[in-house]
Homo-oligomer: A and B are copies of this chain.
Amino acid sequence: MYYIGLLGLGTVATGTLEILSDPSGRNPLISEMIVKKIGVRSLEKTRTIQLSQELLTQDLDSIVIDPQIDIVVELLGGLEPARSLILKAINAGKHVVTANKAVIARYREEIYAAAQAKGVYVLIEGAVGGGIPIIKPLKQSLGSNRIQSIIGIVNGTTNYILSQMSDFGADFSEVLARAQQLGYAEADPSSDVDGLDAADKIAILASLSFGGHIKREDVYSEGISNITATDIDYARRLGYTIKLLAIARGNAGEDSDHLELRVHPTLVPQSHPLASIHGVNNAVLVEGDPLGRVMFYGPGAGSGPTASAVVSDIMNIVAILKSHGTGATLDPLLSRAHQHYCQITPIEEIKSSFYTRLITLDRPGAIGQIGTCFGEQNVSLQSLVQIGLKAGQAELVIVSHDVKEGLFRRALESVRQLEAIKDIPSVIRVLA
């Protein structure tokens, strides 16, 4: 039998216990797992799951050093005490399973170095994409490729909000309030709507795909709170849908020293596989050579799906503990560690096409002046369409060809100086 210590008893931990306590019809390894201790903040809280009170303890440190425990499952969330407890568990020779993207995105190097030194595994399938298998496929199935890009819808809350805005023509704040009522968005939604959660996740996926550590602060991120129903409508007329994408793109694969890494709302062509991902679902599109494109799709959060990922990690560790012989070392695919940090290309240097919405005075020559401003910075345009006209003001939508962001921003600054320009409410990148 293999003994598990659980840190935390929130929704994912409850889901994990539900799987472990009901092994029939699942992989037989689950019958060999025993939960020995569960670390909680409060012993009095009412739980949705029936548990022997003796399993619970408020002394989380005692779990991570318990000599009988083989695997510590960290489901506390947040940075501390999660980080310290993970490191203590590793130093006590425990294998670790965690769904904590915030800790892994920030302390991956420290945690993996400790794990390598101690010869233990730290598995993180639940940290990205909820129940979608994506971490292990990247480690074990896709490494034969030079990975060219990872593009993901990895935050269910923002995808739900954008889907609702798109389906009902509703505005951001209205849909956010409804999502909060339904429990799809937190009371403080900033980690989701500002793209920070997605940035944690793409840092983790990029690190696995491109073979280097990522400094979390190197991930450019922009949220969805400025997206309006108007932009979603105009985007649709142009053949696009708006998604919050997390993008990592490199050309040299493993040895890549230059990686694009960013989270921002993006116009996605309606025929693109990511355009049809609705509601709280997540999807990750991986492009590699010689593979081409594969996509992983499913429920990106929630108790059951994330618990499915957490238990699969525990199963993988148990399978190794059962089968490895004396003197075994860490499996190099499952424990993949990196020596160096990836170099991240500054956002100004990244080429994109840009959708821009401008409010102008309706006067002769305005369009010519705008065109000239872009031309002077060598920004060429795909289309320039006047959509509406009222009270002497016109609304223009401009889509550029691919151009370095720095150049585009300079051109936009000179456009903004034009007397005819009243406002530039939206600038959104377009997925090629």
Q: Which residues of A contact B (CB under 8 A)?
A: 15, 18-19, 24-30, 125, 131-133, 136-137, 140-146, 252-256, 273, 276, 288-299, 302-305, 307-309, 311-312, 315-316, 319-320, 322-334
Contacts and interface: CB of A to CB of B under 8 A. Distances in A.
Contacts of A144: 19, 26-27, 30, 307-309, 311-312, 315
A146 B308 CA distance: 10
Contacts of A309: 141, 144
A327 B326 contact: yes
Contacts of A292: 131, 298-299, 302, 304-305
A27 B294 contact: no
Given A292-B299, A331-B323, A332-B322, A143 B26 contact: yes
Contacts of A302: 292
A221 B302 CA distance: 37
Contact of A140 (B26, B140, B253, B330): B140
A26 B289 CA distance: 9
Given A133-B294, A292-B305, 5 more contacts: A28-B254, A136-B136, A140-B312, A323-B324, A328-B328
Contact of A255 (B25, B253, B254, B294): B25
A296 B142 CA distance: 13
Q: Which 3 A-B pairs have the closest CB atoms?
A: A290-B304, A25-B253, A27-B143
Contacts of A325: 324-329
Contacts of A18: 290
Most-contacted residue by chain B among A28, A141, A325 (CB, 10 A):
A141
Given A144-B19, A292-B299, A312-B144, A331 B319 contact: yes
Given A146-B26, A255-B25, A304 B316 contact: no
A298 to B, nearest CB: 3
Contacts of A332: 29, 319, 322-323
A79 B294 CA distance: 29
A291 to B, nearest CB: 4
B145 A141 contact: no
Contacts of A136: 136-137, 140-141
A261 to B, nearest CB: 18
A174 to B, nearest CB: 25
A26 B291 contact: no
Contact of A131 (B27, B29, B294, B328): B294
Contacts of A333: 27, 29, 315-316, 319
A298 B305 contact: no
A253 B291 contact: no
A252 B330 CA distance: 35
Contacts of A311: 144
Contacts of A255: 24-25
A19 B319 contact: no
